[in-house]
Amino acid sequence: MRVNNKTIRVTTDEAAIVSHAGAALLAGLADKTGLTRALDSELGGLQKRARTHTPGAVLRNLAVTLADGGDCLSDLGALREAQALLGKVASDATAYRMISATGAGKLDDLRRARAMARAQSWNQGARPDRIVLDIDATLVTSHSDKEEAKGNWKGGYGFHPLLCYLDQTDEALAGILRPGNAGANTAEDHISLMGMALDQLPPKDQDREILVRCDSAGATKDFLDYLHERDIRFSVGFQIDHRVREAIAGLGDDDWVCAVDEGGQIRPGAQVAQLDVALEGWPKTSRLICRRERAHPGAQLTLADVGGYRHRVLLTDGSGDIATLELEHRLHAHVEDRIREAKSVGLSNLPFQKLADNKVWLELVLMAQDLLAWSRLMLLDGALKTAEPKTLRYRLFHQAGRIVKSGRRVTLKLASSWPWADALVTAFARLRALPVPAD
């Protein structure tokens, strides 16, 4: 055939070529963090007899498939083409049986395995300096009548999962799969999610200072009382009602101070002030902070946006400088990047009819995000440390290589002309240097 006036000859040979060679990096990381072994340990009871495919290997490969760009069970086939690196990969039928068996009462065991691997990864260098947990919900469209799929407030149909992420490391701690009509500010769901997220933290880290951030959906007295009783700090959005509007209107120019950005520099056109509003029923240490910012041209203002300013209010129990506290809360927006990432690793398509199976799928999505987060933290450099999954797939995971076998040694040869070949080689070297998890 001819491409760009060049004749290209297409043939086949017997060389062992794999097209997703970099995906072995994620599978190896799952092994080195003890995730595969923990899954086998916690879910080993699912095996009634000796089998080729253990629970750990099957669920690990499913998570790697999602991180690698798959969004349905049959995409596991992409890993079967790399069996020379990954070993035998289960059939779709075997993988589905494992998902179904896990969903039938083993979900807590799967979560426990994830927590065990997280403790190992933190000991290997992924432990954050701070623990800031971000909670947010998102809508997932269902294109068929799946169990518990419901209409949502936007006129769509599907699910309304609630998710929690660790901001410092981008790890996915917990998620609850809820019907599309689930309330945004249901305290019971937030409390349940927070309990699951705290269980994901290593025991010795659960006594550290923890900050929980959420939008106004988290501003319920029951949820904040739950956090306050456990000595967990909070910063949540707050609805602007008539009392808050009156407090804003009563502020003078001297009450406002300049807002700051992440670098500590003054944020042009933005100011913050503390509001004097009675907060009966809320935790005693609560305080309201308002940010005002000039609305951009053409913005549609609300009743609370007076004088050409946009106003946002937060409720926090933090002490100290209000500009710093407001910045701290504003960084909650990072969670939107994590949810976008979740939808790029399988959350956009909950593939099963049964709710229990889709709950397992959600856990696999969170597991895939953890593998991506740990790879960025422990194996990658430069721009790759903050790269989106799509970028990592193009530059690393989908890189083709040639398998060369000599005796018991398997060598993966990469094209030296590929711009990121050295980065992948370095990542594999760092993976090999990680300590093997203790029994």
pLDDT beyond 90 at 208: yes
What tokens were used for 184? 């945004």
Q: Residue 285 is inside which H or E element, if any?
A: none
Q: Which of 79, 45, 83 is nearest to 410 (CA)?
A: 83
d(CA 165, CA 175): 9
* Stronger pLDDT, 5 or 100, i.e. the higher one: 100
Contacts of 123 (CB under 8 A, 6+ apart): none
Percent pLDDT > 70 in the chain is 92
Total residue count of the chain as it appears in this document:
439
Contacts of 193 (CB under 8 A, 6+ apart): 135, 162, 163, 164, 174, 175, 176
What tokens were used for 203? 């025991």
Largest CA-CA distance found in the chain, in angstroms, rounded: 81
Q: Per-residue confidence at 299, pLDDT binned at 50, 70, 90?
A: low
- Domains for the chain: give ranges and CATH numbers: 11-108+352-433 (no CATH), 127-339 (3.90.350.10)
Separation of first and last alpha carbons in the chain: 56
Q: What integer is the mean pLDDT of 94-122?
A: 96
Q: What integer is the mean pLDDT of 204-232?
A: 96
Mean pLDDT of the chain: 91
Q: What is the pLDDT of residue 7?
A: 63
Contacts of 165 (CB under 8 A, 6+ apart): 133, 134, 171, 172, 173, 334, 335, 338
Q: Per-residue confidence at 298, pLDDT binned at 50, 70, 90?
A: low
Q: Per-residue confidence at 98, pLDDT binned at 50, 70, 90?
A: very high
Q: Which of 206, 139, 104, 125 is nearest to 169 (CA)?
A: 125
| 67: three-class secondary structure by DSSP | helix
> Residue 435: how many CA atoms within 13 Å on its side-chain side?
9
φ, ψ for residue 94 (rounded to 5)?
-65, -40
Q: Which of 375, 372, 361 is nearest to 59 (CA)?
A: 361
pLDDT beyond 80 at 89: yes
Q: Per-residue confidence at 38, pLDDT binned at 50, 70, 90?
A: very high
Q: What is the pLDDT of residue 52?
A: 75
Q: What is the pLDDT of residue 17?
A: 80
* Stronger pLDDT, 328 or 12, i.e. the higher one: 328
Query: Are the C-beta atoms of 424 and 42 separated by less than 8 Å?
Result: no
Q: What integer is the mean pLDDT of 289-304?
A: 75
Q: Residue 406 is inside which H or E element, if any?
A: strand 401-406
What tokens were used for 212? 């929980």
**pLDDT tens-digit map of 376-421:** 999 999 999 999 999 999 999 999 888 887 777 888 888 889 999 9
Q: What integer is the mean pLDDT of 233-239?
A: 96
Locus of tokens 């300096």: 129
d(CA 180, CA 368): 24
Q: What is the pLDDT of residue 439?
A: 64
Q: What is the pLDDT of residue 84?
A: 78
For the full predicted model, state whether its pTM sits above 0.85: yes
Q: Is 62 left (phi over 0), alpha (psi -120 to 50) or beta?
A: alpha
